[in-house]
Amino acid sequence: MTQSEKWNLYLEALKGPFQKLAKLEFLWPDGTVNFVVDNNPDNPKSRAFIQDGTLTVNFNNGQRRNASVTLANIDGAFSYEVNKIWFGTQVRLSEGLVLPNGEEFYLPQGVFYIKDPQEAVDP
């Protein structure tokens, strides 16, 4: 399927009920992907992803996008190392939806740096 066909399916899917997807790609310093977490229910590890999150965009000079994400590890569904989430780590955020044909379609929202990471442990 061409990118143009995917885009048309995406626009069509927005007209009705759809499932919103989000994906975080934690990057190495050279820009390659270290590990990925998402909220696609077809992914068996998706329950480890977003408990809550926001993306704000402003069109003034300076910082234009700001994202706040709370990760959850429900029932230990995903064993990521919390020590890999450090201040200054680059994270690529993409949002999208599941197309009517069942394929994922993501739009990149930006690459962000982790600022003020907090850990809440609930044994």
Size of the chain in residues: 123
pLDDT for position 106: 92
C-beta of residue 56 within 8 angstroms of C-beta of residue 70: no
pTM > 0.95: no
pLDDT for position 34: 84
Distance CA 76, CA 33 (A): 23
Enumerate residue ranges in the chain where pLDDT < 70: 44-52, 61-63, 73-86, 117-123
Amino acid at 81: E
Domain boundaries, the chain: 3-113
- CA atoms within a 13 Å half-sphere pointing along the CA-CB vector of 48: 15
Mean pLDDT, the chain, whole residue set: 78
